[in-house]
Amino acid sequence: MPITRRVFLRDSALAVVGTAAIPSFLARAAYGAAEAGSRNKRLVVIFQRGAADGLNIVVPHGEAQYYAMRPSINIPRKAVIDLDGFFGLHPSLAPFQPLWQQRHLAIVHAAGSPDPTRSHFDAQDFMESGTPGRKATDDGWLNRTLHSIPQSSPKSPFRAIALGPSLPRILSGSEPAVAMNNINDFSVGGRGSKPSPAASTFQAMYDHSADTVLHTTGEETFEAVKMLKAADPGKYKPASRANYPRGRFGDSLRQLAQLIKATLGVRVAFADIGGWDHHVNEGSTEGQIANVLSDFSQSLAAFWTDLGDLAEDTVIVTMSEFGRTARENGNRGTDHGHANVMFVLGDPVKGGKVYGRWPGLERSQLYEGRDLALTTDFRQVIGEAMARHMGNGNLNAVFPGYENQTGKFLKILG
C-alpha cells in the first residue's frame, strides 16, 4: 500500500508528540478507526465575538445602495476580491481566496439568529445554547450534539475541546468537555507536582465517573498529556506553508491542529476571536476591521494547511452574535444590527458559492429599516453540518424547538 501522509501520521502515531512509548489510549486511537475501516469526523466552531460587520466582510459590491449608505467605510470596488460579480471578499481576506477557488470555502450571507436582541450577552448566549429567545436552556448545542454522533473509536476525554481559559457556554452540559488555554500550561501533575486548575477539574471529572471504560480512558489520556509535555510541545513545528500569525487566535488554532494531529480523538472543538465591535472608526481597507480580518483569515488558512490530509474529515463553521447596521453611524463606525455572514470551510464542502437568499439593502428591504434582514437561520447551517458531516440524526435534540428538516438544507455539504 502506498505511504500517504495520513498513513504516516497514523502509523507513527506520534509525529507530533515524540518517540516515547505509546500509551494504550493513543494506540487505540491511532489504529482502531483504521482497522475498523472508518474515520471520525470533526467539527470546529469559530465564534467572532463582538458582532462582526458582515457587509464589510463579504461585500455586496454589486449593490449601489451599499455604497450610498457607507460613504466613508465602504470597501471600494477596485479593492474587493470579487467572487461572483456581486459579492466579494474584503482585501484582508486574501488568504481565503485560494480556498474559495479550490471550492473548499462556502459563504452563507444574511444568516444568524432570528432573535431580535441587540445585546451582546443575550445574543451570544442564544447562539451558544442553540435556543434563541430562551434563557432557561442549561446546556450548549455543541455539547448536546455529542449525545448522538457515531463513535467509531474509543470515547476520548479529548473529544470535546475548547481553546481558552474556561469552558464556553456552547460546550457546557452533561457530556465531558475540557478547556485548554495553552498546552504548555496544562499540567497533569503527579507525585510531588501540582496540576493546573484545568487539569485538576479534568482529572476529577473522570476519577468520579461510574463508567469504567470512560474512567480508564481518562487515566490513559493523562498519560498522553504527560507525553505531550515531555516532548516539549512548545517546539511543535506546523506543516510547511502553515504560517500562523502571532496572537491568541493563531496560537489557539496552532494548538488545536497539534491536538488533532496527535490522534487524541478530538471530535468537536471551539475557539473564539474578539475585536469586532466597531462603533467608532471601523475603517475600510485599512484600520480596525482590516486588522482583525487579517488575523482571522491568516489563522484559519494556516490551520487548514497544517491539518494536511486530516482536513478531509474536518468542517469549520464560523459565526458571530449579530451583524452591524447597514448604514454607517456618525463616528465612521457601525452599530448593533441583525443578520450577518457565516463561513463554512472543509474538504466535504461544496464551496465556491454564496448560499442563502440575498434580501437586498433598499430601505423597504431592511430589518426594522436599518439592518440586513435574516433569511437563513444559523441552526440550518449547523444542522446540515451535524447531519451530513457528523452523522447526527437527532437534530431535534440538538436544537429543541426548531424544525430541522433535511429538505430545507442549503446542500453546502456533499
Say how many C-beta atoms besides its own lie within 10 A of residue 335's C-beta: 17
- HSE-CB at 62 with a 13 A cutoff on CA atoms is 10
- Has residue 204 got a pLDDT over 50? yes
| Each residue's pLDDT tens digit, 303-347 | 999 999 999 999 999 999 999 999 999 999 999 999 999 999 999
pLDDT of residue 76 exceeding 50: yes
Percentage helix, strand, coil for the chain under 3-state DSSP, each rounded to 5: 40, 15, 45
131: its cell numbers:
435556543
* pLDDT tens track for 183-199: 776 654 433 445 555 55
When pLDDT is averaged across residues 113-130 and rounded to a whole number, the result is 98
- Please name the fold of domain 5-398: Alkaline Phosphatase, subunit A (3.40.720)
DSSP string, 106-119: EEEEEEE-------
The answer to whether 108 touches 350, Cβ cutoff 8 Å, is no
H runs (alpha helix) in 108-247: 120-129, 141-144, 197-207, 212-230
- Distance (Å, rounded) from C-alpha 327 to C-alpha 232? 50
Q: Please give the Cα distance from 185 to 181 (Å, whole number).
A: 7
* CB count in 10 Å sphere of residue 192: 5
Mean pLDDT of 370-399: 96
Is the pLDDT at 18 greater than 80? The verdict is no
Q: Average pLDDT in the 126-154 region?
A: 91
Return the residue matching grid coordinates 435556543. Answer: 131
Task: Report which DSSP code applies to 343.
Answer: E
